[in-house]
Amino acid sequence: MAKEQTAVFGGGCFWCIEAIFQRLTGVKQVDSGYMGGQVDNPTYKQVCEGDTGHVEVVRVTFDPDEISYRELLDVFFTVHDPTTLNRQGNDVGDQYRSVIFYTDEEQQRIAEDVIAEMTAAKVYPEPIVTAIEPATKFYVAEDYHQNYYNENSRQPYCMFVISPKLQKFEKKFAEKMRA
């Protein structure tokens, strides 16, 4: 068995992408948190104010024997809009930017290849603005952000924003979902 690996993605509110990656076979753990800023131990309030430079991200621990990094990228690009700068739906600010934080050169190469392939295939009508950056220190978000959708699925944001993303995901990736 291969050693577990880590991937870090920012694609809007971390509650949205956490809920999706949690449902993938081969994903062992998903942690919501912050990366890419200049403030140590940022709080949600600080990040939302936009002064820290951090992005809301998910850290995905996965088994590459069960799901590849490329497959994780396929999911990532399906469940958010990589063509909007610093915005996903009504969530606006650089903390919601589309970014891939790579943990090694292979992840960087794969991410660059995937974006180049999607650009050449004109998958999106607008240019992809997803940044590819080296991973920096990951700060775990406050406890109430962890497993958010699973514990709050009846909350309005979950029903109107996350649930439709899950439906889109389930339709395209049914074979990759946990039983």
Burial of 71 (0-12, 13-18, 19+ CB in 10 A): middle
Q: How far is CA 131 from the centre of its chain?
A: 12
Of the candidates 43, 6, 164, 16, the one whose C-alpha atom is nearest the C-alpha of residue 98 is 16
> How far is Cα 10 from Cα 59, in angstroms, rounded to an integer?
9
Active site residue 13: yes
Which residue among 13, 16, 48, 158 is the active-site one?
13
Residues near 100 by Cβ (< 8 Å), separated by ≥ 6? 8, 9, 10, 73, 76, 107, 111, 130, 131, 132, 133
On whether the CB atoms of residues 92 and 100 are closer than 8 A, the answer is no
- Location of structure tokens 């991410």: 111
How far from chain centre, in Å, is Cα 114?
Answer: 15
| Active site residue ranges | 13
